[in-house]
Amino acid sequence: MGIGIINSIINLNSNHCIEAEIGGRCGFSPREMRCLLASEEKDGLTSKELSRRIGLSPSRGSRLINSFIKRGLFFIKADLDDRRCHRILLSVSGREQVLEIKNRIGECEKRLLSKLSTEEIDSIRKAMAILSEKL
């Protein structure tokens, strides 16, 4: 039974890759989109923290961060508590892109929810809460 659930989740993601649709409309790969959304911390994140949040090795995370710095989406600020450490923060342009991505997510969610009944939405929310708790 458990394998059927996992296969359903994998197939759902494969057949209806919402991340690719949203990110593609905004000009970002799914990984880039996750990185932008994960970087919204007020005080910034270290490269290591950001890489961990999006499931990348530190070296791959650093390459992605550097590409965002070159594109003007991120900037680096020295950590006030640890001079050896640097914080990654969203630039104004990066914040605008995050807002655009969130707007696209909202549009996608509205489109999905419009196809479901209130009972189905409640069932899905409950099931997702259970899955999140157990994983």
| Secondary structure class of 72 (helix, strand, coil) | coil
pLDDT at 80 over 90: no
Rg of the chain taking only CA atoms, in angstroms: 18
Name the pLDDT band for 16 (thresholds 50, 70, 90). Answer: low
The domain limits of the chain are: 2-134
CA nearest neighbour of 68 among 85, 43, 51: 51
Q: Is CATH 1.10.10.10 the right assignment for the domain spanning 2-134?
A: yes
Residue 15 is predicted with a pLDDT of 55
What's the token pair of residue 24? 């593609």
Contact 88, 76 (CB under 8 A): yes
pTM of the model: 0.78
33-69 per-position pLDDT tens digit: 889 999 988 888 999 999 999 999 999 999 999 999 9
Interhelix angle 18-26/30-38, nearest 10 degrees? 80
CA nearest neighbour of 61 among 85, 38, 90, 27: 38
